C-alpha cells in the first residue's frame, strides 16, 4: 500500500500559516541535449491530502489550466513547474533516455510528484509518470524519451510547512536489450505457477508452510482489477504437493468482489472496485490452521480509515473465514486521523498462550500466542509512523489494544517477527527518516520475554544506505524494508537491501544480514549475502529469509547480475550452513523477466511490490515471487530448490575393457554428491550381469559437491564376452535425497575368450586344380581360377581368384560350423581387389530354423578401391537355440576379387 503520514494537528497548524500565492521560482525552465539541467525552488506551502488517486488533478481548473493562484493549504495545496524539453521526438530514434525529475530538500514532510504533458494551448495533457514515496525521502521520476512541454506538479501530501527544491536533468543512456538475455548456466529450477485467475498483474506475494504437513503451502498476493489506477484485491493460493501444483482460490471472502471487466478506466469507479485489501501476510499455527492478515481500506487506497483484518482456514487454505477485525478506524474522528499500513503476523508454535506457558505440542488443541504488527500512521503524535503490536491468546478471535514498540522514533515501516524455541519474540523494522537532515536509515529491533505483554526499548541493528526510490534504469519503486527469522539455537537474523558504494566507486544494491546471538542486545556488523563480484553495478533487492530446523539460513531476493544492462530480473537464493559466516548463491529462475511489461501504476510509479515470499525446511527452499517471463502480466510462481544430498554414480571405469579371459578386472565407480547437504555412511553396491558382487562398500562421508572412487576386483575366468557392470549408491534407500531416481549407473566391458574353434579351412583335402575343400560356389560362368592351390603364407598368388562375369554375382559358402549358443566369435575375411573396385560382403547365418531368429546374425560389407587389401572384421554373439552357422562371402560388382582363404573364418576371440 501507499506509505502515508497524516497529522494530529494539521488543521490547527494550517490555520496558523499565512496564505502564499504558490509559484515555483523560476516558474519554468528548459533542458535539451546541450543544456542538460534546470533547477527551481517551490515556495513554502502546507497541506495534507488523502486523494492520491487523483494524481494532482486538483492543481488544475476545469479547463485543464494550472490553477492561479494555487491553493496554499489543505488537501489541494500544489505547486506547478513548466518544463520544456527542447528536442524533437526523432532525437530518440536509436537512443534511450529522457529527463530525470527530482524533488528534495523538504525535510520529513511528504511531497508527491506528478508529471503531465503540456498541450500546445497550455492545458494539461496525458498523465506521464509519478513518484509518491515515503515521507522524508526525495521523489524521483523519469520522463522516457522526453520531447516538448510538461507540467511538473508538486502535491502537499502531508506537509506542515515546507518549501522544496526541484531538478530536471536530461540524459541519454545505452538503454537495455529489447528482450532478456538467455542464460543457461546456472540453469535455475522449474517455476510452478500459482496464479490462474482472471485478474491482471499480481504483486507482493507471501507464503507459509504447514508445520504438520510441509507439502501444504498457503500463499496470497495482490491481484489487480485496474493497472493504470492501481486497484486491486487480495487473492489466495493453496498447494498440497510442496508447491508443484496450486489451487487459486480467488479473492478473500467478506469484501465486495470485482473483476477487471468490472473496473475499466475511470474517471469514476464503483465501490466494489475501490474497496481494497492489501499487504497479505500468512502463517500457520501448530494445529494446521492457516491465517491471512490483510490491510483493509473500505473507502479505497486513496482514503483514510485503513485497518487490519484476519482470515482463518481450517482446510489447508482452500476455504477462508469471514474477516476477523484485529484493528480498525471506521468510526468518527479516528477514521480521519489514523490509518494502519504494512503488516505482518506470526504464531508462537513453541509455547502455549497462557500461564504457565508450557511447551506447545502439535495436535494438542493448544494454540500459542498470535502476534500482529503494522505501522500506525498516528495523527495524535505529530509526524510519526509508529510500529505497533497487537496480540491474541484465543487463536485470533480477539486482539489486544495495539502497543507502540518503536518508542521515540519518527517514521518507521516494514515490521516482521521472529520467535525462538524459548518463546521469546523479536520484531524488526526500518527507520527510514529522521529529524536529522542527511542521517542514514536504520534497522531496529525489540524483544519480548513475556509473550508480548511488554517490549524492550528499540536496539539499533545497523545503519542503512537505503535503496533509491527507483533504482537507476528502472521505473519501479523500492524500499529497504527488513526481513527477520530465528534459528533453533536462539540466534536471530535481520536482512535487507543496502545501496552502498564499493571501493571502485560503483553504487549498487546488495543484500546484507546482521545476526544477534545474545537475545538482540548486540548485533554483528552487516555481512554481504550475495556472492557476485563486489561493485559490479548489479542490483539485488527485496530479500526474504527463512531458517530451517537444522539452522541453515536461506535468503531469497531479486537479482540483476545476469543482465549486462542491469535491467532484467532473476530470483536468487543464498544459503549459509555456518550461521551466516559463508554463503553460496543459487539461481532460482530459469528466465529473467521484464518489470516494465504491464506493471500496475501506483502513486510512486510502476510497481512490482515491496517484498516477496520464502519458506524452507531441511529438504527444500521454496521462493515465492511474481514475474512476466511467460506472459503479459506479473504472475505468481514457486520453485523448489533442493536442500538435501543427491547421490549419483558419476562414472564407471575398468582396468581393461578388452581383458583376456582369466584376468582380474578392477571395476571403479566414482560416486558423487551433487546435492546441497553432506551424506554419511554411503553404501555402494556392485553387480555384474545382475549378480551382486560381495558385500556393500561404504564411503564414510560425502560433502556437498564431493565425490569418491570405490572399486572391486572381478575374476573373468570362464566368462568370455560382453558383461554389464551396475553400481548403485544408497541401495537400501536410507539417505534422504532430493532425487531418488539417479542412484544407479551402468557400463559394459568385454572379456576376450580363449580360442576354441578355427574354421579357416586350411585343411582342404586338395588345393588344386579346383577350389579348396569345404567351399561351394554358386552362380554361372567361369568363377574360379585356382593357381597353385593353398599357400601357407596366404599370399594372393596362392589364393582363389574370381573370374568376374559382368552383371553376375559370385558367392563362396562355407560348410556348417558348430558353435556354442551365447558365446562370442570373431568373424573375418581378408580380400584383395583387382583392377576395379569391389564390394565384398561377409554374412553369418544360422543353419536351420530357430525360433526368434530371423535374417543374418551378422552382415559386414564394404566398398573397396581397386588394388587394395582390406579386412572385413566383426564379432557376433550366437543366439539361444543356434548350434551351427555358415559363412558366405559375396561379391556383387563386376570385379576381380582375390580371397586369402587361409584368412577367412569364425574364431573364438583371442
Gap between the Cα atoms of 910 and 905, Å rounded: 14
* Banded model confidence at residue 767, pLDDT cuts 50, 70, 90: very low
- Mean pLDDT score of the chain, rounded to an integer? 85
Per-position DSSP letters for 732-759, written without gaps between them = T--S-BS-SS--EEEEEEEEEPPP--B-
pLDDT bracket for residue 44 (50, 70, 90): confident
Is the pLDDT higher at 878 or at 289?
A: 289
What are residue 45's DSSP bridge partners?
162
Structure-block grid coordinates of residue 562: 545476469
pTM of the shown model: 0.74
> Which of 83, 107, 703 lies closest to 411, judged by CA?
107
192-642: which CATH number, 2.60.120.10, 2.120.10.10, 1.20.1560.10, 3.40.50.970?
A: 2.120.10.10
Instruction: Report the pLDDT averaged over residues 193-210.
Output: 97
* Contacts of residue 271, Cβ cutoff 8 Å, sequence gap at least 6: 256
Which pLDDT belongs to residue 51? 53
Average pLDDT over residues 227-235: 94
Backbone angles phi, psi at 757, to 5 degrees: -155, 130
Count the Cβ atoms, other than its own, within 10 Å of residue 298: 19
Q: Which of 395-399, 431-435, 868-872 reaches the highest mean pLDDT?
A: 395-399
Residues contacting 374, CB < 8 A, separation 6+: 295, 308, 327, 340, 341, 342, 343, 344, 387, 388, 402, 415
780-820 pLDDT, tens digit per residue, is: 322 232 222 222 222 222 233 333 333 344 566 666 777 88
Query: What's 565's DSSP letter?
Result: T
Q: Report cis status (omega within 30 of 0) of the bond before 69.
A: yes
Q: State residue 757's pLDDT score.
A: 35
Delimit the domains of the chain by residue range: 10-173, 192-642, 669-752, 775-907
Report pLDDT for 290. Answer: 99
Label residue 905 by pLDDT band (50, 70, 90): low
Q: How many CB atoms lie within 10 A of CB 674?
A: 19
Question: What grid cell was written down for 804?
Answer: 568376374
| Strand pairing category for 744-752 and 658-660 | parallel
**Using the 8-state DSSP alphabet, how is residue 26 labeled?**
S
Residue 668 has pLDDT above 70, yes or no: yes
Spatial contact of 882 and 780, defined as CB atoms under 8 Å apart: no
Which regions of 420-539 does DSSP assign to beta strands (E)? 425-433, 441-448, 459-464, 483-486, 492-501, 507-516, 527-528
CATH number for the domain whose boundaries are 669-752 = 2.60.40.10
Which pLDDT does position 900 carry in this prediction?
53
Give the model's pLDDT for residue 251: 97
What are residue 698's phi and psi, to 5 degrees? -130, 130
d(CA 218, CA 211): 12
Q: Which CATH number fits domain 10-173: 2.60.120.1050, 3.40.50.970, 3.40.140.10, 2.60.40.10?
A: 2.60.120.1050
Predicted confidence band of residue 71 (pLDDT cuts 50, 70, 90): confident
Q: How far apart are the first and last CA of the chain?
A: 82
Q: What is the pLDDT of residue 194?
A: 98
Q: 910 versus 825: which is more confidently predicted?
A: 825
Architecture per CATH, domain 775-907, reads as Sandwich (2.60)
Q: What is the distance between the alpha carbons of residues 708 and 701, in angstroms, rounded to a whole number?
A: 9
Which pLDDT does position 765 carry in this prediction? 28
What pLDDT does 753 receive? 67
Predicted confidence at residue 54, as pLDDT, reads 72
SS3 category, 166: strand
Query: What three-state secondary structure class fits 90?
Result: helix
Q: Rounded CA gap, 213 and 365, in Å?
A: 16
- Of residues 34, 141, 27, the one with CA closest to residue 87: 34
Angle at 137 between CA 132 and CA 141, to 5 degrees: 45
pLDDT band at residue 381, thresholds of 50, 70 and 90? very low
pLDDT at position 754, please?
53
Distance CA 225, CA 80 (A): 31
Q: Which helix (H) or strand (E) holds 713?
A: strand 707-715
When comparing pLDDT for 138 and 313, which is higher? Answer: 313
From 327-331, 359-363, 786-790, the region with the lowest mean pLDDT = 786-790
Q: Is 564 exposed, middle or buried (0-12, 13-18, 19+ CB in 10 A)?
A: middle
Tell me which residue of 551, 467, 552 sits closest to 508, measured CA to CA: 467
Position with higher pLDDT, 311 vs 791: 311
Q: How high is the pLDDT of residue 414? A: 94
Least confident of 159-163, 210-214, 681-685, 689-693: 159-163
Which pLDDT score is estimated for 758? 33
Task: Give pLDDT tens digits for 557-596.
Answer: 999 999 999 999 999 999 999 999 999 999 999 999 999 9
Answer yes or no: are the C-beta atoms of 595 and 645 closer than 8 Å. Answer: no
Task: Please determine whether the domains at 10-173 and 775-907 fall in the same fold group of CATH.
Answer: yes
Q: How many CB atoms lie within 10 A of CB 679?
A: 24
Mean predicted confidence (pLDDT) in 390-419 = 93
What count of other Cβ atoms lies within 10 Å of the Cβ of residue 380? 12
pLDDT for residue 870? 80
Cell numbers representing residue 782 in the block: 567361369
Percent over 70 (pLDDT), the chain: 85
- The per-residue pLDDT for 335 is 54
Q: Which has more pLDDT, 510 or 268?
A: 510
Q: What is the 3-state secondary structure (H, E, C) of 606-629?
A: ECCCCCCEEEECCCEEEEEEEECC
Rounded mean pLDDT of 415-426? 98
- Region of poorest pLDDT, from 112-126, 259-273, 834-848: 834-848
Amino acid at each position: 500500500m501507499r506509505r502515508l503520514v497524516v497529522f494530529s494537528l494539521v488543521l490547527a497548524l494550517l490555520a496558523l500559516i499565512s496564505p502564499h500565492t504558490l509559484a515555483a521560482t523560476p516558474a519554468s525552465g528548459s533542458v535539451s541535449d546541450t543544456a542538460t539541467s534546470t533547477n527551481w525552488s517551490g515556495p513554502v506551502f502546507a497541506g495534507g491530502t488523502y486523494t492520491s488517486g487523483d494524481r494532482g488533478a486538483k492543481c488544475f481548473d476545469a479547463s485543464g489550466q494550472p490553477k492561479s493562484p494555487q491553493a496554499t493549504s489543505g488537501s489541494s495545496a500544489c505547486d506547478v513547474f513548466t518544463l520544456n524539453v527542447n528536442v524533437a521526438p526523432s532525437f530518440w530514434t536509436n537512443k534511450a533516455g529522457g529527463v530525470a525529475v527530482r524533488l528534495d530538500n523538504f525535510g520529513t514532510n511528504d511531497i508527491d510528484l506528478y508529471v503531465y504533458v503540456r498541450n500546445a494551448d497550455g492545458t494539461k495533457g496525458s498523465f506521464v509518470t509519478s513518484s509518491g514515496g515515503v515521507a522524508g525521502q526525495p521523489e524521483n521520476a523519469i520522463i522516457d524519451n522526453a520531447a516538448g512541454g510538461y507540467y511538473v506538479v508538486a502535491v502537499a501530501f502531508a506537509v506542515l510547512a515546507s518549501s522544496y527544491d526541484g531538478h530536471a536533468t536530461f540524459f541519454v543512456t545505452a538503454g537495455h536489450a529489447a528482450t532478456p538475455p538467455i542464460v543457461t548456466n546456472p540453469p535455475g529450477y522449474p517455476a510452478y505457477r500459482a496464479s490462474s485467475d482472471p485478474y491482471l498483474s499480481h504483486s507482493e506475494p507471501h507464503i507459509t508452510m504447514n508445520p504438520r504437513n510441509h507439502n501444504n503451502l498457503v500463499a496470497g498476493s495482490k491481484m489487480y482489477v485496474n493497472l493504470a489506477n492501481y486497484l486491486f484485491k487480495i487473492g489466495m493460493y493453496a498447494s498440497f504437493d510442496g508447491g508443484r501444483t496450486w489451487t487459486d482460490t480467488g479473492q478473500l471472502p467478506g469484501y465486495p468482489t470485482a473483476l477487471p471487466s468490472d473496473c475499466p478506466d475511470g474517471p469514476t469507479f464503483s465501490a466494489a472496485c475501490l474497496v481494497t485489501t492489501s499487504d497479505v501476510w500468512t502463517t500457520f499455527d501448530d494445529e494446521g490452521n492457516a491465517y491471512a492478515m490483510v490491510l483493509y481500506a473500505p473507502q479505497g487506497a486513496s482514503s483514510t480509515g485503513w485497518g487490519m483484518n484476519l482470515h482463518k482456514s481450517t482446510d489447508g487454505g482452500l476455504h477462508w473465514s469471514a474477516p476477523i477485525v484485529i484493528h480498525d478506524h471506521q468510526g468518527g474522528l479516528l477514521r480521519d486521523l489514523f490509518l494502519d499500513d504494512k503488516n505482518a503476523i506470526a504464531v508462537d508454535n513453541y509455547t502455549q498462550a497462557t500461564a504457565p506457558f508450557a511447551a506447545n505440542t502439535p495436535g494438542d488443541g493448544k494454540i500459542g500466542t498470535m502476534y500482529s504488527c503494522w505501522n500506525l500512521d498516528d495523527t495524535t503524535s505529530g509526524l510519526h509512523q509508529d510500529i505497533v503490536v497487537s496480540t491474541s491468546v484465543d487463536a485470533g478471535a480477539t486482539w489486544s489494544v495495539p502497543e507502540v514498540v518503536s518508542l521515540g522514533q519518527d517514521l518507521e515501516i516494514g515490521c516482521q517477527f521472529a520467535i525462538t524455541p524459548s518463546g521469546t519474540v523479536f520484531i524488526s523494522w526500518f527507520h527510514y527518516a529522521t529529524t536529522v537532515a542527511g542521517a542514514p536509515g536504520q534497522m531496529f529491533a525489540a524483544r519480548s520475554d513475556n509473550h508480548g505483554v511488554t517490549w524492550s526499548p528499540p536496539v539499533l541493528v545497523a545503519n542503512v544506505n537505503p535503496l533509491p526510490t527507483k533504482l537507476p534504469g528502472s521505473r519501479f519503486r523500492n524500499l529497504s524494508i527488513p526481513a527477520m527469522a530465528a534459528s533453533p539455537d536462539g540466534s536471530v537474523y535481520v536482512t535487507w537491501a543496502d545501496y552502498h558504494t564499493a571501493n571502485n566507486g560503483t553504487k549498487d544494491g546488495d543484500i546484507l544480514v546482521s545476526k544477534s546471538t545474545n537475545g538482540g542486545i548486540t548485533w554483528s556488523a552487516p555481512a554481504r549475502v550475495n556472492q557476485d563480484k563486489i561493485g559490479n553495478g548489479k542490483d539485488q533487492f527485496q530479500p526474504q529469509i527463512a531458517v530451517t530446523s537444522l539452522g541453515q539460513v536461506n535468503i531469497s531476493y531479486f537479482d540483476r547480475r545476469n543482465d549486462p544492462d542491469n535491467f532484467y530480473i532473476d530470483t536468487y537464493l543464498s544459503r549459509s550452513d555456518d550461521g551466516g559466516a559463508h554463503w553460496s548463491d543459487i539461481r532460482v529462475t530459469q528466465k529473467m523477466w521484464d518489470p516494465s511489461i504491464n506493471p500496475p501504476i501506483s502513486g510512486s510509479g510502476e510497481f512490482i511490490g515491496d517484498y516477496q515470499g520464502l519458506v524452507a525446511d531441511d529438504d527444500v527452499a521454496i521462493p515465492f515471487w511474481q514475474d512476466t517471463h511467460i506472459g503479459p502480466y506479473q504472475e505468481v510462481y514457486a520453485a523448489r530448490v533442493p536442500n538435501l544430498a543427491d547421490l549419483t554414480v558419476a562414472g564407471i571405469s575398468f582396468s581393461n575393457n578388452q581383458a583376456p579371459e582369466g584376468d582380474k578386472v578392477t571395476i571403479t565407480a566414482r560416486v558423487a554428491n551433487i546435492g546441497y547437504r553432506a551424506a554419511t555412511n554411503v553404501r555402494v553396491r556392485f553387480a555384474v550381469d545382475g549378480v551382486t558382487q560381495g558385500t556393500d562398500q561404504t564411503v564414510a562421508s560425502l560433502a556437498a559437491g564431493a565425490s569418491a572412487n570405490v572399486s572391486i576386483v572381478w575374476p573373468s575366468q570362464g566368462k568370455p564376452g560382453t558383461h554389464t557392470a551396475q553400481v548403485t549408491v544408497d541401495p537400501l534407500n536410507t539417505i534422504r535425497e532430493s532425487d531418488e531416481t539417479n542412484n544407479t549407473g551402468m557400463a559394459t566391458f568385454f572379456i576376450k575368450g580363449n580360442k576354441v574353434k578355427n574354421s579357416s579351412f586350411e585343411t582342404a583335402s586338395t588345393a588344386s586344380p579346383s577350389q579348396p575343400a569345404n567351399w561351394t560356389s554358386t552362380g554361372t560362368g567361369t568363377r574360379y581360377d585356382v593357381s597353385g592351390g593353398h599357400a601357407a603364407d596366404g599370399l594372393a598368388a596362392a589364393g582363389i581368384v574370381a573370374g568376374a562375369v559382368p552383371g553376375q554375382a559370385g558367392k563362396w559358402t562355407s560348410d556348417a560350423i558348430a558353435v556354442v549358443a551365447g558365446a562370442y566369435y570373431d568373424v573375418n575375411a581378408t580380400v584383395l581387389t583387382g583392377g576395379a573396385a569391389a564390394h565384398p560382403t561377409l554374412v553369418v547365418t544360422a543353419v536351420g530354423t530357430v525360433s526368434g531368429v530371423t535374417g543374418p546374425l551378422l552382415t559386414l560389407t564394404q566398398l573397396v578401391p581397386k588394388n587394395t587389401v582390406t579386412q572385413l572384421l566383426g564379432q557376433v554373439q550366437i543366439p539361444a537355440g543356434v548350434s551351427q552357422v555358415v559363412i558366405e562371402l559375396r561379391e556383387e560388382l563386376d570385379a576381380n576379387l582375390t580371397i586369402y582363404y587361409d584368412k577367412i573364418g569364425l574364431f573364438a576371440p583371442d
